């Protein structure tokens, strides 16, 4: 039996609902559209009524084992009406008008003017969005007011980021509002999604939670078709762990070329370095079997919150892998070999943490990075760090865009020859700026 898929108040308001209660319930479940708009209770109230009870690790395991393991074929996204992204962005701006504006970001073009390609670039976005149950209940962001973390508004901050950068492929971690919010909304925007929950999600220990958190992978259906999906539970020393990954083989509709995309979230906290290394080794082994074929090897992109600094063993495993992966973040440095100073900045009771934990790995021999989105400066982030009223998460999202190519001839894939900075405003429009300074962050553009 499949779990009920509850649509959020946001989705219902955008799609509308009929005056009939039975028709309204059916429209909400199937993503249908009604004939009129009616006021609906906030999603948080719905979550309180349907929250999963707390429990120990063993009881969580029993509940998890009782739930079916859904694959995309078994649980396809409901066919719903299409949403207008501009209208949804305006709705986000309306709801958030009392909050400070989001930090402006600079687009950093690395390779000078783009060459002509048969298809437009493919943009990939990576982001740990912070599980709502953890943000409100367990993570202890002592400098962030609870009002700033309310889901009724924080979901609009998340959607505003996604709508601004318009990814073709979206990789997310700590998703605990997939079925009631992100799944229906992204489906309405023309994406196909896949979700994999952690077997023993810590969200289930939080009272009135919204279910387990996990990884989600979305792709724009107009750009790609799905060839296969693998839902992986990562192992360490042949023992299953609580971390997961989604691996999908996609095919570009315009060119027919293939691309493999993976999203993962490795074990958090200091002291678990060996476990993260083992999880990374297991993921790399699985990816090798997915991307390799007798006649060719698929280009590969791996997005994730690795919870690991560049000095850790798991980072070395990926950088030295026979898959030929490189970290896109390094391309923003002057030497092309140094990761940014931080991708996350938060303050907890244990102290302040400014770390580089998030990465986008790509096949350096078959993909070329064209441009990246810089990271907010310390001044933009502010003294209370992240999350905050103007930013919904402790990490900054990365974006990538791609087309079929080998590494650019005449230089290594990591060498930056020219930099042009574009300003991305709050509506997602780009305007040329003088290339005076390059900050530390990414939005990658590959050509595929």
Q: What is the CA radius of gyration of the chain?
A: 21
From the number of C-beta atoms within 10 Å of its C-beta (0-12, 13-18, 19+), residue 39 rates as exposed
Q: Per residue in 262-307, pLDDT tens?
A: 999 999 988 999 999 999 999 999 999 998 876 568 999 999 999 9
Kindly list the domain boundaries of the chain, sorted by start residue.
85-446
Q: DSSP characters for 75-112? A: SPPP--PPP-HHHHHHHHHHHTTTSPPPPPEEEEE-SS
State the fold for domain 85-446.
Deoxyribonuclease I; Chain A (3.60.10)
Separation in Å, CA 370 to CA 333, 419, 444: 14, 10, 7
Distance CA 130, CA 202 (A): 12
Question: Between 318 and 149, whose confidence is greater?
Answer: 318
Instruction: Give percent of the chain above pLDDT 90.
Output: 38
Cβ pair 417, 331 in contact under 8 A: no
Mean of the per-residue pLDDT values of the chain:
72
pLDDT of residue 306: 95
pTM score of the predicted model: 0.74
CA 210 to chain centre: 19
Q: Per residue in 367-394, pLDDT tens?
A: 888 878 777 665 666 555 555 445 545 4
Instruction: Identify which of 54, 61, 56, 63 has the alpha carbon closest to the alpha carbon of residue 206.
Output: 54
Average pLDDT of the residues in 48-77: 41
pLDDT of residue 315: 96
Residue 402: count of CB within 10 angstroms of its CB: 30
From the number of C-beta atoms within 10 Å of its C-beta (0-12, 13-18, 19+), residue 270 rates as exposed
Q: DSSP characters for 363-412? A: ETTT--B-EEEPPPPHHHH-TT-SS-SS-SSSB--EEEEE-S--SPTTS-
pLDDT of residue 8: 54
Q: CA-based angle 313:319:322, to the nearest 5?
A: 110
Question: Between 262 and 141, whose confidence is greater?
Answer: 262
Average pLDDT of the residues in 132-143: 65
278's enclosing H/E stretch is helix 273-291
Contacts of 315 (CB under 8 A, 6+ apart): 306, 308, 309, 359
Q: What are phi and psi of 194, to 5 degrees?
A: -140, 140
pLDDT of residue 65: 32
48's enclosing H/E stretch is helix 43-50
Q: Would you state the structure tokens that stand for residue 154, as one six-digit string?
A: 């924080």
Question: Between 257 and 42, whose confidence is greater?
Answer: 257
Q: Would you state the structure tokens that stand for residue 426, as one six-digit string?
A: 């709050």
Most confident of 230-234, 253-257, 354-358, 387-391: 230-234
Most confident of 187-196, 297-306, 419-428: 187-196
Q: Per residue in 339-363, pLDDT tens?
A: 876 666 556 566 556 568 889 999 9
pLDDT of residue 107: 72
Q: What are phi and psi of 73, to 5 degrees?
A: -70, -35
Q: Is the pLDDT of residue 419 over 90?
A: no
Separation in Å, CA 359 to CA 196, 235, 316, 318, 426: 20, 20, 13, 11, 24
pLDDT of residue 357: 82
């Amino acid at each position: 039996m499949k779990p009920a898929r509850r649509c959020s108040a946001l989705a219902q308001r955008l799609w509308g609902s009929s005056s009939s209660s039975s028709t309204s319930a059916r429209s909400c479940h199937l993503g249908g559209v009604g004939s009129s708009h009616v006021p609906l209770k906030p999603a948080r109230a719905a979550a309180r009524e349907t929250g999963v009870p707390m429990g120990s690790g063993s009881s969580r395991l029993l509940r998890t084992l009782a739930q079916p393991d859904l694959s995309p074929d078994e649980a396809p996204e409901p066919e719903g009406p299409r949403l207008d992204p501009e209208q949804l962005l305006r709705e986000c701006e309306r709801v958030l008008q009392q909050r400070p504006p989001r930090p402006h970001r600079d687009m950093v073009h690395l390779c000078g003017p783009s060459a002509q390609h048969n298809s437009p670039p493919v943009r990939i976005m990576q982001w740990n969005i912070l599980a709502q149950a953890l943000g409100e209940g367990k993570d202890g962001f002592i400098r962030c007011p609870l009002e700033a973390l309310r889901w009724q508004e924080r979901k609009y901050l998340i959607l505003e980021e996604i709508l601004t950068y318009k990814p073709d492929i979206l990789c997310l971690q700590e998703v605990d509002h997939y079925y009631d919010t992100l799944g229906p909304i992204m489906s309405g925007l023309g994406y196909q999604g896949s979700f994999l929950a952690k077997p023993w999600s810590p969200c289930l220990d939080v009272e009135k939670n919204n279910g387990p958190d996990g990884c989600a992978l979305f792709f724009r259906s107009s750009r790609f078709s799905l060839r296969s999906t693998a839902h992986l539970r990562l192992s360490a020393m042949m023992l299953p762990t609580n971390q997961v990954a989604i691996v999908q083989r996609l095919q570009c509709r315009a060119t027919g070329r293939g691309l493999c995309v993976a999203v993962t979230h490795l074990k958090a906290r200091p002291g678990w370095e060996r476990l993260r290394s083992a999880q990374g080794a297991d993921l790399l082994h699985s990816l090798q079997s997915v991307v390799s074929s007798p006649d060719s090897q698929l280009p590969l992109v791996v997005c994730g919150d690795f919870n690991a600094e560049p000095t850790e063993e798991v980072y070395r495993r990926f950088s030295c892998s026979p898959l030929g992966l490189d970290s896109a973040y390094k391309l923003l440095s002057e030497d092309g070999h140094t990761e940014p100073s931080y991708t996350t900045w938060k303050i907890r009771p244990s102290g302040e943490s400014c770390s580089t934990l998030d990465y986008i790995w790509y096949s350096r021999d078959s993909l070329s990075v064209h441009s990246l989105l810089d990271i907010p400066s310390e001044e933009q982030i502010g003294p209370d760090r992240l999350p905050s009223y103007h930013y919904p998460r402790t990490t900054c999202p990365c974006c990538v865009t791609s087309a079929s190519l080998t590494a650019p001839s005449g230089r290594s894939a990591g060498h930056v020859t020219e930099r042009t900075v574009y300003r991305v405003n709050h509506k997602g429009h780009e305007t040329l700026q003088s290339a005076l300074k390059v900050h530390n962050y990414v939005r990658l553009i590959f050509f595929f």
